[in-house]
Structure 1
Amino acid sequence: MGNSGGSLTTRSTGELHQLMRAVGFTGMDDTEALAENWQVTEFAEAGPRSLANFVRRTGTPAVMVCFHDSDVGFIEALTPDGGSWEGLLNREMAESYEIPLEHFPLEPAVAGALAWSAAAGLTPDEEAIRHTLTGSALFAEELSSALMVALGVPGARI
C-alpha cells in the first residue's frame, strides 16, 4: 500500500510543524529545507480548510498535494492575495479509480499554476508544468516533485 498522506510546499521562516498543527494538519513527518526559505513537509491528514488557514495565517503562498495510495495526487495551491488553482497528478491512474477528469480541467490548472508561480515570485516552466499535469508515473510523488521543479520552487529536485 502506498502513501495516502500529502505534502505541503511553502516559503516559511517559522517552525513549520507548529504552524501546520495550528491550522489542522496532522501527522507531520519530515521537513526538507529547499532554498530561499522554501520547505516541503509531509503530513498524514489535512482538515477541510487547513491550506486556506495556513496561507492566511502565514501570508505565504503554498501548494498542497494529497496522495491517494501513491497512485493519484490532488493539487491545491493558494496565494495570500486569494489566487488559487487545483489540479490532478497521474490522470491515467485517476481514470482507473473512476475519478472524473472533467473536475480537473488541464488548461485552467496550467494557467493557475503559472499565475501562482508568478505571484510567489518564482519563474515557472509552462511546458514542464503541462507535462507534469498530463504525465504518468509509477508513484504520484514523482510527479509532485517534478511539479515543484516546474513551478520554479528554489532547490526543488526530481
Structure 2
Amino acid sequence: MTTRPTGELHQLMRAAGFTGIDDTETLAENWQVTDFADAGRRSLANLVEQTREPAVMVSFLDSDVGFIEALTPDGNSWEGLLNREMAKSYEIPLEHFPIEPAVAGALAWSAAAGLTPDEEAIRQTLTGSAPFATELSSALLVALGLPGAT
C-alpha cells in the first residue's frame, strides 16, 4: 500500500479493512509504503475515501505475481499486473490486464497525485519480468514518480 495519509496510517488502514499491517516506510513528501497481509474487497476505496489522498496497492501471489490497484479521491482508478511471464505459469488470463490502459491509468493517477511519472519506465514494469514481483513493484513506485522511492 502506498499513500499520503493525513492521519496515522496503520489505524486508517485497519478501519478501511486491511489486516496484518506491518512495516511502514516513509518516503519524501509524506508518502508512505506499508506492507499488509490481506485487504477486503473495498479496502482501497475505503482508505482513499478516509484520507482523501490517492493510493496504489499491490497484492502478491506467492511473491511471483503482483496485482496492482490504484485509486484517486475523484474516483479514477486503474489496474495492472506485474510479472506477466510468471502470471502465465499460474494460468492468469493476461487479456484481463491489458498494458496500454494500465499505462494510461498510471499516468493519470500520477498526474492526479501531483507526481511526475516516467511513461517508458511504467511500461517496462508492466511488461518486464523479475525473479520476484516485489522488484517490479519497487520499480513501479519509482516510475510513478513517488518522491524518495528506490
Classify the TM-score, shorter chain: over 0.9
Q: May I ask how many residue pairs the two structures share in their alignment?
A: 150
- Alignment match, 1:58: 51
Distance in 2 separating the partners of 1:15 and 1:82: 23
Tell me which residue corresponds to 2:7: 14
C-alpha displacement of 1:13: 3.6
Q: Partners of 1:120 and 1:90 in 2: how far apart?
A: 25
Q: Which residue, 2, 8, 30 being the options, matches 1:37? A: 30
Deviations 1:50-82 (A, max 9, x none): 000100111000000000000000000000001
2:117 pairs with 1:124? yes
- 1:89 has 2:105 as partner: no
Q: Secondary structure at the match of 1:99?
A: coil
Rounded Cα–Cα distance in structure 1 between residues aligned with 2:129 and 2:135:
9
Taking structure 2 as the reference length, the TM-score comes to 0.99
Q: TM-score, normalised by structure 1?
A: 0.94
Q: 2:140 aligns with which of 126, 138, 147?
A: 147
Q: Distance in 1 between matches of 2:28 and 2:52?
A: 18
Query: More helix per residue: 1 or 2?
Result: 2
Percent identity between the aligned chains?
A: 84
Runs of 4+ displaced beyond 3 Å: none
2:127 maps to 1:134: yes
Instruction: Return the letter of the residue paired with 1:49.
Output: R
Q: Alpha carbon RMSD of aligned pairs, Å? A: 0.5
5+ residue gaps in structure 1? 1-7
